[in-house]
A and B are shown apart, each in its own frame.
Chain A
Amino acid sequence: MSTPRPYTLIAELTYKCALHCPYCSNPARRTQETLPAEIWERTLDDASALGVVQLHLSGGEPLLYRDLERLIARGHQLGLYVNLITSGVPLTRARLIALHAAGLDHIQLSIQDATRQSSDSIAGARVFDRKCQVASWVHDTGLAFTLNVVLHRANIDRVPEIVALAEQLGAHRLELANTQYLGVAFANRAWLLPTRTQIEEAYEAAQRARERLFGRMEIIFVKPDYFGSTPRACMDGWARNYIHVTPAGRVLPCHAAEAIPELVFDSVRDRGLAEIWASSPALQRFRGESWMKEPCRSCERRSIDFGGCRCQAYLLAGDPTVADPACALSPAHGQIESVHNERTYVLRARR
């Protein structure tokens, strides 16, 4: 197949972070390695030439990457929409102003819950007040501002309070993202998974808020895929719209793909991004539809959900080439059904 145009580059600058969230999307084993700014700059240039318009500077905590300002400036110079995905914790008011001046378009600030006690307990650090302070600075700068809250059993009942907090903090967007059960979150899923009723009530609360705030604040509700009968269109398809580059420089289709042992990902340390995007065997492996087996191969939804998530297929069914077990047509769908019946409240693998 022809090489698709990517629209988004997710640049994970470092895995370092001050928080200890039990649903962290980073891999459980994290390198300390980071790329020099020159390699990142070259990678941004290459991404822009490939068609990328969105740049997400992420981590870990991207504020802990020393040359962040330089990368924001380069992204801005290329006309990219530059978004910083941050905990906010290491930020000062002066640095925020400097980031804005360098060309930052948007900041996505995480908060763990609507109350200090619960929020700090989830983050594993006393950071709630700090985050609210950072939010007020963001509001003052006029930067585009999304508040992000990852939902799970311990906070999902407080969607109305979270919406009220987002309004109070002046967020333009609120992203209520249910935990995706990969990486650390997979290990902790028995502790994190809400009940079906909790999800439904949270969704209803988000819908009511969306209606009330229509045209003023956008509310995004990302459903978990443990509760549906069809899988989500993971990353809009493997190596199709998104490029993900890790702190070590490896080019992935998503943050979790290194969990699949058979895949070897190329690094921007060794080859240019354009060449990797076009010909990396690991990116080609599940690109398009030719890799599909039944029930995906003949499924009418194969161009809608692309067979779902390859990492989840590997984690739950032990084989990254089969249908995502989130799909009711998957023989391993029972794996998802059975997790609802787990009654283990033990927190595992929390770093």
Chain B
Amino acid sequence: MPRMLDHGVRPALARTVRLRWDEHAGAQMLIAPERGLLLDEVATRIVRLCDGSRTVGQIVDVLCATYDADVRAVATDLESFLTELARRGLVRL
């Protein structure tokens, strides 16, 4: 479901979710009831920034500073990533 994400929202991992190292895949994995999601390095960084203290706008700023990327491209990618995580119940918005 396409929707605009308010940049003032402070995303946080859902109560039901934990981040753990997955030995078999050699990657971080988000585990939640009845599902798991393997994360690459950037996704892991984003998930760690979703601690309920930062707004989406602030996360965009951190990512831009870290990866030297275009603000609009980062914002668009972040919005779709967070919306997808929220749809799967992994992130609270």
CB distance A53 to B15 under 8 Å? no
Query: How would residues 81 to 105 of chain A score, 1 for a CB under 8 Å from any chain B CB and 0 otherwise?
Result: 1010000000000000000000001
CB distance B86 to A144 under 8 Å? no
How far, in Å, is B38 (CB) from chain A's closest CB?
10
Contact of B22 among A53, A106, A142, A216 (CB under 8 A): A53
Q: Which of B1-41 contact A (CB under 8 A)?
A: 1, 14-18, 20, 22, 24, 29, 31-34, 36
Q: Chain A: which residue is nearest B90 at the CB level?
A: A218
Contacts A51-B24, A54-B34, A108-B33 given: A81-B18 contact, CB under 8 Å?
A: yes
Query: How would residues 204 to 230 of chain A score, 1 for a CB under 8 Å from any chain B CB and 0 otherwise?
Result: 000000010011101000000000000
CB distance A215 to B18 under 8 Å? no
- B-chain residues with CB within 8 Å of residue A211 when the two chains form the complex: 1
A180 interfacial contact with B, CB 8 Å: no
Determine the distance from Cα of A142 to Cα of B29 in the docked complex, in whole angstroms.
22
Interface residues on A, range: 20 to 34
- B-chain residues with CB within 8 Å of residue A51 when the two chains form the complex: 24
CB distance B36 to A215 under 8 Å? no
CB distance A216 to B92 under 8 Å? yes
- B-chain residues with CB within 8 Å of residue A119 when the two chains form the complex: none
Determine the distance from Cα of A172 to Cα of B24 in the docked complex, in whole angstroms.
29
Contacts A7-B36, A144-B16 given: A53-B89 contact, CB under 8 Å?
A: no
Contacts A214-B86, A215-B93, A216-B92 given: A106-B16 contact, CB under 8 Å?
A: yes
CB distance B15 to A215 under 8 Å? no
CB distance B16 to A173 under 8 Å? yes
A312 interfacial contact with B, CB 8 Å: no
How far, in Å, is A320 (CB) from chain B's closest CB?
26
- A-chain residues with CB within 8 Å of residue B93 when the two chains form the complex: 214-215
B91 interfacial contact with A, CB 8 Å: yes
Q: Which of B24-76 contact A (CB under 8 A)?
A: 24, 29, 31-34, 36
Q: Chain B: which residue is nearest A144 at the CB level?
A: B16
Determine the distance from Cα of A83 to Cα of B87 in the docked complex, in whole angstroms.
21
CB distance B92 to A53 under 8 Å? no
Contacts A105-B18, A214-B86, A215-B92 given: A144-B24 contact, CB under 8 Å?
A: no
- A-chain residues with CB within 8 Å of residue B31 when the two chains form the complex: 53-54, 81
- B-chain residues with CB within 8 Å of residue A7 when the two chains form the complex: 36
Binding site for A on B (CB under 8 A): 1, 14-18, 20, 22, 24, 29, 31-34, 36, 86-89, 91-93
Q: List 10 A-B contacts (CB under 8 A).
A: A53-B20, A54-B34, A54-B36, A79-B20, A81-B32, A108-B33, A142-B15, A173-B33, A211-B1, A214-B93
